[in-house]
Amino acid sequence: MTPLFLIASAITFAAPPPAKDSVGEITIWVGEKPTRFLPDGTRAKDIPVLNTLKLAGINDRITPDFKSVVSIDYSATDRVKRIHK
Amino acid sequence: MTALDGNSKPFILPAYVPQSFFLSADGTKVYFSGLRGEEVADEKYFGVTSWVLDLVSKKVAGLNLPVNHYLEAISSDGKTMISSTFTQEKEFYVRRTFLTDGNAEKPIEILKPGVSAFEVRFSPDGSQVLIHAVEYVNLKWNGGDFSASDITRNEAVLVNVVTRKESTVESLPVATIRAWSWSPDGKRIAYVVHDPNAKGGVPGKKEYSIFVAEPNGANAKLIYKAEGSDLEYFDWR
């Protein structure tokens, strides 16, 4: 006779993982930390980020592997001289 | 391009002044509009050209958009684009919005002249575009920023890419929406609401509420709240 705890383990391990690829995850970056979570608001987790990294704003893009960010350095724009670098 | 953990040297594209850009869905390309050079005089600011940067080879190639067209969005397959132009007509600037697909000889105007398109987002299959449409009155360029005497239209619009039919999404609170994104399957959208006039909360911190709804705004549900300074990024993928 199979012990009940083994049956319970088999059921647990046989359960499919969350369908992340079809459901996806939402990422929001407010202030210093980006956070990812499922579209029902659960399983929130922070993305590790260098604490000195400063983004230019809402138009920045995080790469699909969540390892890099692509941005425009607007700080190089000199409005006073009307020169945009 | 900067590593989020700071463990590698940032890649900086030299000799271009980008003004708008988008990362491809697979993260291998950056589509951008701007100007060549290390600096650009203000009177040439609107004479943009569009390119695509391959992040693997670091090579830049031209994009099939006319000069003076700002890239506003590009479909995930890279074949359909939304662009905008700023043209001076007498003392005011007029903004126009265009759709370019792979078969078009030239961009086709959508919305109507004078309407500015913000937060332009293609659905994952490229069949629809969600746009925050704002119509400004007497739009002026002050050598750094735009100003207008009034706003006569401020709404979310869904545009069918094939028929170019426009549908107003009345149930989305565009006045307080800061960003939105399609779900990976294109069946829902998520959006961030921040009301700058809201009372309460933690001093010095802004509250952002994230909702999920159908693309027409129906069945909106608050799913998450975040607090902090400014909203830097929002996406669903």
Residues of chain B neighbouring A52 (CB-CB closer than 8 A): 6
Residues of chain B neighbouring A61 (CB-CB closer than 8 A): 21-23, 233
Output the six-digit token pair for B214: 């159908």
Long-range pairs for B109-116: beta carbons < 8 A, 24 or more residues apart = B110/B82, B110/B159, B110/B164, B110/B166, B111/B157, B111/B159, B111/B166, B114/B139, B115/B153, B116/B84
User: What distance in Å separates the CA atoms of residue B184 and residue B188, rounded to the nearest whole number?
Assistant: 8
Q: What is the pLDDT of residue B83?
A: 94
Output the six-digit token pair for A68: 């890099």
Would you say the C-alpha torsion B170, B174, B177, B178 has a positive or negative sign? positive
Question: Which residue on chain A is closest to B23 by alpha carbon?
Answer: A61
Q: What angle do CA B116, B107, B91 make, to 5 degrees?
A: 45
CA distances from B44 to B34, B35, B71, B194 (A): 10, 9, 17, 35
Which residues neighbour B114 within 8 Å (Cβ) at sequence distance 6 or greater?
B94, B95, B135, B136, B139
Residues of chain B neighbouring A59 (CB-CB closer than 8 A): 20-21
Q: Do B42 and A40 count as a contact with CB atoms less than 8 A apart?
A: no
pLDDT by residue (tens digit) across A25-60? 999 988 877 899 999 999 999 988 776 666 555 567
User: Position B12: which residue type?
Assistant: I
Instruction: State residue A51 phi and psi, 5-degree precision.
Output: -70, -10
Q: Is B39 on the interface with A (CB under 8 A)?
A: yes
Interface test with A, best of B71, B74, B232 (most A CBs within 10 A): B232
User: What distance in Å separates the CA atoms of residue A73 and residue B44, rounded to the nearest whole number?
Assistant: 19
In this structure, are residues B213 and B152 in contact, taking their beta carbons and an 8 Å threshold?
no
Q: Do A30 and B206 count as a contact with CB atoms less than 8 A apart?
A: yes
Cross-strand partners of B236: A26
Alpha carbon of A67: minimum distance to chain B alpha carbons (Å): 6
Q: Which of B1, B23, B236 sits opposite A24 (nearest CB)?
A: B236
Residue A77 has pLDDT above 60, yes or no: no
List the pLDDT tens digit at each of the 237 positions of chain B.
Answer: 888 877 778 888 888 888 888 899 888 999 999 888 766 666 666 778 999 999 999 999 999 888 899 999 999 998 899 999 988 888 888 999 999 987 667 899 999 999 999 999 999 999 999 999 999 888 887 766 778 888 888 999 999 999 999 999 999 999 999 999 999 999 999 999 998 777 666 777 889 999 999 999 999 999 999 988 888 889 999
Q: Do B234 and A62 count as a contact with CB atoms less than 8 A apart?
A: no
Q: Do A68 and B224 count as a contact with CB atoms less than 8 A apart?
A: no
Alpha carbon of A17: minimum distance to chain B alpha carbons (Å): 17
Q: What angle do CA B140, B143, B145 make, to 5 degrees?
A: 60
- Asked whether the ipTM of the predicted complex exceeds the cut of 0.85, the reply is yes
